[in-house]
Amino acid sequence: MPNDPDSGPRRGLSRRSLLTAAIPLVAIRTRPALAAEFTYKLATGQSLAQPINARLDQATQRIREASGGRLDLKFFPASQLGSDTDLITQVRAGGIEFLNIAGSVLSTVAAGAAITNVGFAFADYEQVWRGADGPVGQYVRTQIEKAGLIVAAKPADNGFRQITSASKSIKRPEDLKGYRIRVPVSPIFTSLFSALGANPTSINFNELYTALQTRLVDGQENSLVTIDTGKLFEVQKHVCETNHIWDPYWIVANRRAFGRLPEPLQEIVRREFDRAAMEEREDMVRLTGTLKAQLTARGLVFESVDKEAFRRSLTQAGYYREWKTKFGPEAWQALETVTGGLA
């Protein structure tokens, strides 16, 4: 809206080192003279600067090596095969076999995946991973698989989202009254900002920079990684550290294609994708800390906010009550097991 782990990036990571870490291993082949039994595609919509792409590139190489060349998993990052919406259609139809996709986008075909996007639900990463690796993640997996896809790995980190602004800081709910803010095409995002009194507008990410530059909208919300890679610091001034929504990445597979793989290959795929997700989580922690300093140096002003005031405002507006009804008791119980009472 950026393989041996000892040879990959683990300390002092930059986005460039993340992306280049996998390059020396591209030429490794266990059976270079033999054709693969399975030639599959893995696609992402994330920019090349996102850590998830470096880790998935490494995973595809490890899968090829560990399978003895039986599975050749070709990697197509950065929307090479289409937009997020196109990619979801392709993986469901079997045009591609694997896809890394944000939960907020995946919720367009598996509505329950949006449970992780409830506003101001997670206080910190301790709660995030206790939920994503526990009851919340299990619920989302079930919903994704009901939509006909296979979840092939643990969730990775798409980051906490922050509000940015060109003209003023957003510290309390009343600062959003009448505020024109860009949000993704997602009902739960629109609902959140409407409940806070803002005027949310759904705009595709590739149009966001221009919308901010021309003041079609006053601000936007995204993770620090996306704010940096999208160069939004050029057209925004304030970063309000709301952490208002956390969004995961899910690696999903076409059910029929995954089922065609012999069980030993399925195990290799799951093992290496799990490893990629866990390493990406670590990458995001380091990168987010580095980015705050870098973005400050580029002129962005970071502002602390009263998160409890935002949550109280949402409660008074009936936001949590509305989404509790929409998700149903099973999903809401899974969420509140981790976050505590919301509605």
Lowest mean pLDDT among 204-208, 270-274, 314-318: 204-208
Provide the pairing of β-strand 246-254 with 156-160. antiparallel
Write the CATH number for 209: 3.40.190.170
The total number of structural domains in the chain stands at: 2
Residue 43 vs residues 63, 126, 138, 139, 260: alpha-carbon distances, Å:
15, 29, 24, 24, 19
Task: Tell me whether residue 2 is in a domain.
Answer: no
Residue 83: pLDDT band (50, 70, 90) is confident
Residues 278, 193, single domain; the answer is no
In a domain, 1, yes or no: no
Tokens found for residue 11: 């300390």
CA distance 325 to 74: 42
User: Residue 314 belongs to what domain range?
Assistant: 162-244+299-339
Is 266 part of any domain? yes
User: Is residue 126 in a domain?
Assistant: yes
Separation CA 10–CA 289 (nearest Å): 15
Task: Tell me if 3 is assigned to some domain.
Answer: no
pLDDT higher than threshold 90 for residue 163: yes
In the structure encoding, which two tokens stand for residue 334, read together? 């899974």
- 162-165 sheet: strands from edge to edge: 199-202, 180-183, 219-222, 162-165, 238-240, 301-303
Predicted confidence band at 64 (pLDDT cuts at 50, 70, 90)? Answer: very high
Overall average pLDDT of the 302-325 stretch? 97
Do both 103 and 65 map to the same domain?
yes
pTM: 0.87
| Main-chain dihedrals φ then ψ at residue 48, nearest 5 degrees | -60, -25
Could you report the per-residue pLDDT of 98-131, keeping only the tens digit for each? Answer: 999 999 999 999 999 999 999 999 999 999 999 9
Residue 4 lies in a domain: no
Judge if 239 and 219 occupy the same domain.
yes
The verdict on 138 and 152 lying in the same domain is yes
Distance from C-alpha of 72 to C-alpha of 172, rounded to nearest angstrom: 51
Shared domain check, 188 and 132: no
Q: Do 140 and 121 belong to one domain?
A: yes
Q: Are residues 154 and 166 in the same domain?
A: no
Q: Give, in order, the Cα–Cα distances in Å from 106 to each of 74, 91, 99, 229, 311.
A: 22, 11, 10, 22, 25
Count the alpha carbons within 13 Å of 247 in the hemisphere toward its beta carbon. 26
Q: Are 146 and 341 in contact (CB under 8 A)?
A: no
Q: What pLDDT sits at residue 51?
A: 94
Residue 227 shares a structural domain with residue 103:
no
Tell me what pLDDT residue 278 has: 98
CA 208 from chain centre, in angstroms, equals: 18
Same domain, residue pair 252 and 117: yes
Based on the domain organization, do 45 and 115 belong to the same domain?
A: yes
- The pLDDT of residue 185 is 80
On whether both 220 and 107 belong to a single domain, the answer is no
Nearest to 244 by CA among 170, 140, 333, 167: 170
Please check whether residue 294 lies inside any domain of the structure. Answer: no
For residue 9, being part of any structural domain is answered with: no
Q: Do 66 and 144 fall into the same domain?
A: yes
DSSP assignment letter at 230: T
pLDDT at site 34: 67
